[in-house]
Structure 1
Amino acid sequence: MTQKPLEGVRVIDLCVVWAGPFATMLLGDLGAEVIKPENPFVFQPMTRGAMARPPQMLIGASIAWAGGLPHNEVGDRPWDYNPTFVSLYRNKKSFTVDLRRPEGLDILRRLVAVSDVVYENNATGTMEGLGITYEWLKAANPKIIFVRVPAYGSNGPYAHARALGVHLEAVMGHSLLRGYDDADPSSNTAIYSGDYLAGAQGAFAVMTALWNRDRTGEGQLIEIAQAENAAAMFTQAIMDYSLNGNVQAAMTNRDIDGRSPSGVYPTVSPGTAATSDDRWIAISIDTDEQWSAFGQAIGSPPWATDPRFAANAGRLEHHAEIDAHIAAYTATQDDYELMHRLQAAGVAATPVLEASRMFDDPHLRARDFFKTQTQPASGAYEYVGPLWKFPGTPVEYLQPPVMFGEHNDYVYRDVLEVSDAEFEALKAGGHIATEYDASVP
């Protein structure tokens, strides 16, 4: 059987919410063995859901991607099929242990001794409060790679500030840049792109650290401040201020390099934004030649051949006027049909898809973008699959989203080789479980 890219690498996942779990998911997709210790007495919000046992009334009031459940029913094990969790915890293993107690911390120490990477993205001070420091990890395994992904770094005035991706967006100023020029930033919807950027960067950092360890025999401590990493989303604004003293503001969907027109325009829709079935198309024109081709593709209306718009400088000056003309035209068109017509003319264009329409997109289907995950607790659903296709080494679903405590026997008996007596003692002490303790709401 062909070896997977990271086969033989063991990662301990001490992560929460998105930024960390996304990174370890990428590593798991590449074949690393990712083991997640989970505490039966402590529920980590937004990791396996909002609550271990949410009331039924909360399901209908929750955002679907964060608190929705299959068939809108709480069921017996809601922590195993929360949508946020199942989208991030394929190709991972779960075992339970209470790290707050000495015997639980000793179990982690023994696992560190036979692992390659420890990855965490908890609030600054959380690991230290448990006694888990880089020095402690190195004592267990001198070659360990410890990756930390705090919101704002482990030192400095913001070190202990709590944050999710939406908070990072605001602190870094992205919320001011990505809005509309005629609207207050408070009208923006929340986005969490900083989480995914941190996850991708963290997975890359792990692979470079493994490469370095293979060459030198040395492990290392890696810290990625999510806020600093997220700054890559708006480098142009940072550089414009640093070099020119300009404070950029929201520019709607226009091109950062001043190419015109560039925007998102309405198309024939079965409904409205209120019902989430309004439809739009993104169009971006880079050159004067593309502008001419665009005009011909839409039937050469008089405004498209207006000499004022022949060169980019003129189009940029009259961007709002052109936008109004384009929107009036596109509002009569089917988004996919118009996309194909414009792309055939050499103009960049694509529908802006509401999430459910992605499942019917021919290109995504041709790329095998979605994979079916079948889990005993929730059944079969389609999710975004691995991000890569490698001809020589497979990147695939190796295991559906992990059930709570699913791999207790594997970790304790096979990896740590605990005795039967120790296993039973840990089980009697509440460390080993397959569901959250009844005291956890």
Structure 2
Amino acid sequence: MTGPLTGVRVIDLTTVISGPLATMTLGDQGADVIKVEQPSGGDFSRHVATRRADMSASFLNNNRNKRSVTLDLKTDDGLNAVQTMAAQSDVFIQNFRPGVAERLGLGYNALSALNPKLIYVSIAGFGHTGPLAQNPVYDPLIQAISALTTVQAGSDEDRPRLVRTILPDKLTGIQTSQAITAALFSRERSGEGQHIQISMLDVIIAFLWSSDMNGHTFVGDEMEREEAQSYIDLIYEVEDGFVSIAVMQDKQWQGFTKAIIRPDLLEDPRFATPELREINRDARLEAIQDAVRGFAAADLIKLLDAENVPNAPVLSRTQMRQHPQVAANGIVVETLHPVAGMLRQARHPSNFSKTPAAIRRPAPTLGEHTQEVLAEFGLPVSGA
């Protein structure tokens, strides 16, 4: 069996994380992803830290199921090769700074004239127009301008904090892959390609709005100042580590007080209803912390599970990959890379019953497939 995107050809000119993660997702789902890189060094992520046999973990973890072609886009031969490939492909994706692709002759208008059915994707940082569109951008800057750092802080009065993973980059990759498949579906019905423009800033603000912008939803009744939300503090210290406990409903509050044998908390008028527990959240959090501090994590989890109280252990990265639920899901897999050796990675997260995703090929070495791919398109190798 083959993946759901088998037969789809993608020309990928993206680098670093957001674009490569998007195209790896398509590759995991069966697409033929051709990664076009500059001969002098290729994707920047090839050169970052955490490496083995001259292959970086970052590149390996965002570029499997792709073929690498090296082309010098500063030459006519290189540009002609990319244009020829785009004319015979389904998707073209780039994350150059706005305007660069157009100056190279690789913009949407130029390539769609060669291939009207092409799905053309432009990924930007701040946006494609506007005062910041031409500024250099990295993930922390998007976290800052999108208000994600103040959401992470908990309130407008606390020091802003970065989320300690490159969330804007990763979410942009996921959103981009979804947009591409939606455009491919639309093309199946209309026969027409289109231009998808997406920015990291757009993605994160939309992401926040579903849960973190309630105080700015009703026009004319906006919150002037954000206060801390209780969910950011639902990690509690116990005797030998930390446990997350999420008590929302009345039955869960009742189960919690029963599990730890604290009927006084159930009788406390400050915690009588979900609304009161939210109004008095600081007192509630302090009460829960005081109540569970003396428990061992495993003992507390067993008691909470018996009363169907939502909880989970707080794990390190090493503990996570060894957890029985992770093993049961089959999330972490091992594959042999011909250069970097045995790798441990997360599989594609979606399970398709009839068209399963798969790791079909390892992340390529720079230019590994140049001759093979150029021959497929009828191009001379001298075009590299």
Segment drifting more, 331-340 vs 151-160: 331-340
**Correspondence 1:68 to 2:50:** yes
**Correspondence 1:398 to 2:356:** no
3-state SS of paired residue (1:22)? helix
Q: Match of 2:377? A: 416
Deviation at 1:251, TM superposition (A): 1.9
Aligned pair in 2 of structure 1 residues 209, 189: CA closer, same or farther (>3 Å)? Answer: closer
Distance in 2 (CA, whole Å) between partners of 1:177 and 1:311 is: 26
Q: Match of 1:439? A: none
Q: Match of 1:49? A: 47
How is 1:12-27 mapped onto 2 (pairs within 5 angstroms)? 12-27=11-26
Q: Match of 2:38? A: 39
Give unpaired runs (5+ residues) of structure 1.
Answer: 51-66, 256-261, 270-278, 432-441
Distance in 2 (CA, whole Å) between partners of 1:233 and 1:216 is: 29
Q: Match of 2:244? A: 282
Find the partner of 2:70 among 96, 113, 120.
96
3-state SS of paired residue (1:87)? helix
Contact 1:118 1:146 (8 Å CA) reproduced:
yes
Amino acid at match of 1:351: P
Q: Match of 2:213? A: 238
**Correspondence 1:118 to 2:117:** no
Deviation at 1:222, TM superposition (A): 0.9
Show CA shifts across 1:28-50 (max 9, x none): 111001110111125543x2233
**Correspondence 1:197 to 2:159:** no
Distance in 2 (CA, whole Å) between partners of 1:223 and 1:176 is: 27
Aligned pair in 2 of structure 1 residues 221, 359: CA closer, same or farther (>3 Å)? Answer: same
Q: Match of 1:387? A: 349
- TM-score normalised by L of structure 1: 0.80
Contact 1:28 1:91 (8 Å CA) reproduced:
yes
Q: Match of 1:147? A: 121
3-state SS of paired residue (2:195)? strand
Identity %: 29
Deviation at 1:185, TM superposition (A): 2.8
4+ residue runs over 6 A deviation = none
Deviation at 1:183, TM superposition (A): 7.8
Distance in 2 (CA, whole Å) between partners of 1:375 and 1:157 is: 44
Distance in 1 (CA, whole Å) between partners of 2:365 and 2:357 is: 22
Show CA shifts across 1:136-182 (max 9, x none): 21233221110111112211122112222221111111101111459
Contact 2:42 2:366 (8 Å CA) reproduced:
no
Aligned pair in 2 of structure 1 residues 204, 181: CA closer, same or farther (>3 Å)? Answer: closer
Aligned pair in 2 of structure 1 residues 43, 89: CA closer, same or farther (>3 Å)? Answer: closer
Cα RMSD, aligned residues only: 2.3
Amino acid at match of 1:195: D
Find the partner of 1:159 among 133, 136, 142.
133
Distance in 1 (CA, whole Å) between partners of 2:5 and 2:260 is: 50
Q: Match of 2:238? A: 267
Show CA shifts across 1:186-223 (max 9, x none): 55454321222221221111111111212221111111
